[in-house]
Amino acid sequence: MTEELLRTPLYQEHLALDARIVPFAGWEMPVQYAGIIEEHKAVRSAVGIFDVCHMAEFRFFGFDAFDALQSIVTNDLHKIDELGSALYTVMCDEDGGIIDDLIVYHTGDLEYLIIANAANRQTDWDWITSHLPEGVEAVDESDRTGLIAVQGPRALEVIASLAGEGFVPPARFHIAEARLENIPVLLARTGYTGEDGVEIVCHVDHAVAVWRLLLSFAEVTPCGLGARDTLRLEMGYPLYGSDMDRGVDPVSAGLGWVVPKAKTGYIGADAVARVRDAGPARKLVGLQVSEGVPRHEYPVLHEGTEVGKVAGGTYSPTLGHGIATAYVPAELSAPGTELRIAIRRKEVAATVVRPPFVKQTSLSAPSS
Amino acid sequence: MYPKDLKYDKEHEWVKVDGDVAIIGISDFAQDQLGEVVYVDLPSVGDEVAAGESFGEIESVKSVSELFSPLTGEIVEVNDALGDAPETVNEDAYGDGWMLKIKMADAAEVDELMSAEEYEAFIAEEA
């Protein structure tokens, strides 16, 4: 691909912070600043901020918007009837193949905001708009939308001091308008790290100002895609293109919980129901390894035979050892099953576990 | 950043000669490129290494790289401390982050390595 790489409005900020820049999903993005482990630990213990302006934002409006989107996504949009609530979901093709994973926000009367993966922007847009009836207004707002994730046990403190007196944060999986030092934003209480926090949706022209406001706090650490990946893997949050793609259905991908059994009539419903009835042949599982770092595409073995490949793998900075996800035959997917991963010249023990790999975060209930 | 008393190779290892023994590690440039090191896989005392051949692996969160021996010889000491504290390679690449001590088979191989000035120029060209 010789296509020119895109830059977010924060590109110059990253250079000024001495970030290491890598190509990602068609964008030039920071993979790390001070170091992945340091950034990872900052998010688990204080606050980290992430430039996620590359992600796609679509808005939908109209009396028929609800029904149209309800027939496209697998999860039940009635769960977000309440204005300001949000829902994680996937959307599938007729064969049940996952086109993308999304968060749908009920942002206004008859109005929805969808945030989708950067790499799927065009695919998603084409798919959704080709299934919209006339009369539902759709706008691709990605180029005009800035998105900055603020994540960590102290994230809300930082937001509260910027939002001023009387600020009440939106509840978990809710979105609300706010002003950060007079900059109008939407605060979404969502994230991809397993920590409490928000994702700030703002006009692209305000992204630099918001970024700098956040960095003016000593407890805030800029974090790159490297830490974003280790944080999401520790929580077992799937990544499109690695843990799922068009070739896999949500039930096999461990996302049955975003496909309510009672819901029918959405695209792919029949195919998903068939997988559910028959039981998936292969399932995405978590693997905890004894040594080394499992990485994408490394073979997963059972009694000397290859039974799958690593989907996502990394070193877990919190646990201090390797973790991975992989598709394995359903009969080998029960927690406790002993498998092996070929890490180049070595074969290491890998135990099937139920994610999250890291149980205690600022989002989980306090330990007793 | 590139001590003058060391020699360097194109795979970013450094060598410090002490009589017929050579100490081997990776350069500050290499550790910086790798990022935080999480594993160092080294051979055992008594193993033979050959110039230009792989003797182990070094792994960071994001990537894994082979370690290549700049010289031929027999391993007389291995820095076992890196097993528990691999980050030492980042913190002190030329000191406590050393990897191997080998008894050189052919001291003349050292002459083929780069000086600090040559290595610095080599990096500037690669970047």
How does pLDDT run across A246-290, given as a tens digit for each residue? 999 999 999 999 999 999 999 999 999 999 999 999 999 999 998
Q: Tell me, rounded to whole angstroms, the distance of Cα A309 from its chain centroid.
A: 22
Partner residue opposite B61 with nearest CB, options A36, A292, A344: A36
Q: Is B59 on the interface with A (CB under 8 A)?
A: yes
Query: What tokens does A343 get?
Result: 């890490």
Interacting residues of A230 by C-beta distance below 8 A, sequence separation 6+: A36, A37, A40, A314, A315, A316, A317, B61
Give the mean model confidence (pLDDT) for residues A26-55. 97
Helix axes A155-163, A207-215, angle to 10 degrees: 120
Give the mean model confidence (pLDDT) for residues A16-34. 96
Q: Is A226 on the interface with B (CB under 8 A)?
A: yes
Q: Where are the domains of chain B?
A: 7-105
CA pair distance A219, A349, nearest whole angstrom: 38
Partner residue opposite A37 with nearest CB, options B39, B59, B61: B61
What SS3 class is residue A213?
helix
What value does the mean pLDDT of chain A take? 96
What SS3 class is residue A67?
helix
- Note the helical H segments in chain A: 11-16, 36-45, 65-70, 121-130, 155-163, 207-215, 225-234, 269-278
CA pair distance A271, A74, nearest whole angstrom: 12
The DSSP line for A288-347 is EESSS---TT-EEEETTEEEEEEEEEEEETTTTEEEEEEEEEGGG-STT-EEEEEETTEE
CA pair distance A122, A88, nearest whole angstrom: 20
Q: What is the ipTM of this complex?
A: 0.83
pLDDT at res. A368: 39
Which residues in chain B land under pLDDT 50? none
Interacting residues of A20 by C-beta distance below 8 A, sequence separation 6+: A30, A31, A32, A33, A224
The answer to whether B62 contacts A31, with C-beta atoms less than 8 Å apart, is: yes
Range list of β-strands (E), B33-107 = 37-41, 48-49, 54-60, 64-68, 73-78, 100-104
Helix axes A36-45, A225-234, angle to 10 degrees: 60
The answer to whether A35 contacts B35, with C-beta atoms less than 8 Å apart, is: yes
What SS3 class is residue A257?
helix
Give the mean model confidence (pLDDT) for residues A76-103. 98
The answer to whether B64 contacts A293, with C-beta atoms less than 8 Å apart, is: yes
- Note the helical H segments in A51-109: 65-70
**Residue A367: pLDDT above 60?**
no
CA pair distance A99, A174, nearest whole angstrom: 24
**Residue A106: pLDDT above 50?**
yes
- Contacts of residue B39 in chain A, CB cutoff 8 Å? 291-293, 315
Total residue count of chain A as it appears in this document: 368
Give the mean model confidence (pLDDT) for residues A186-203. 98
The answer to whether B36 contacts A38, with C-beta atoms less than 8 Å apart, is: yes
B7 to each of A4, A214, A307, B21, how far by Cα in Å? 40, 45, 46, 14
The vertex-A184 CA angle with A14 and A196, nearest 5°, equals 65
Burial of A134-147, coded b for 16+ CB within 10 Å and e otherwise, reads eebebebbbeebbb
Which amino acid, one-letter code, is at B58?
I
Which amino acid, one-letter code, is at A283?
K
pLDDT at res. A366: 55
How does pLDDT run across A309-365, given as a tens digit for each residue? 999 999 999 999 999 999 999 999 999 999 999 998 889 999 999 999 999 899 985
Partner residue opposite A36 with nearest CB, options B35, B39, B59: B35
**Residue A37: pLDDT above 70?**
yes
In 3D space, the residue among B82, B104, B88, B105 whose CA is nearest the CA of residue B31 turns out to be B88
The CATH classification of domain B7-105, taken from the options 1.10.10.10, 2.40.50.100, 1.20.1250.30, 2.70.240.10: 2.40.50.100
> Do residues A226 and A232 touch, judged by C-beta distance below 8 A?
no
The answer to whether A35 contacts B36, with C-beta atoms less than 8 Å apart, is: yes
B89 to each of A64, B53, B95, how far by Cα in Å? 60, 21, 9
The answer to whether B61 contacts A314, with C-beta atoms less than 8 Å apart, is: yes
Our CA-based measurement puts residue A314 at a distance from the nearest CA of chain B, in whole angstroms, of: 7
Q: Is A38 on the interface with B (CB under 8 A)?
A: yes
CA pair distance B118, A1, nearest whole angstrom: 35
The answer to whether B61 contacts A292, with C-beta atoms less than 8 Å apart, is: no
> Do residues B69 and B51 touch, judged by C-beta distance below 8 A?
yes
* Rounded (to 5) percent helix, strand, coil in chain A: 25, 35, 40
What SS3 class is residue A206?
helix
Q: Is A31 on the interface with B (CB under 8 A)?
A: yes
How does pLDDT run across A112-130, given as a tens digit for each residue? 999 999 999 999 999 999 9
Give the mean model confidence (pLDDT) for residues A37-64. 98
- Note the helical H segments in B1-127: 28-34, 81-84, 88-91, 116-126
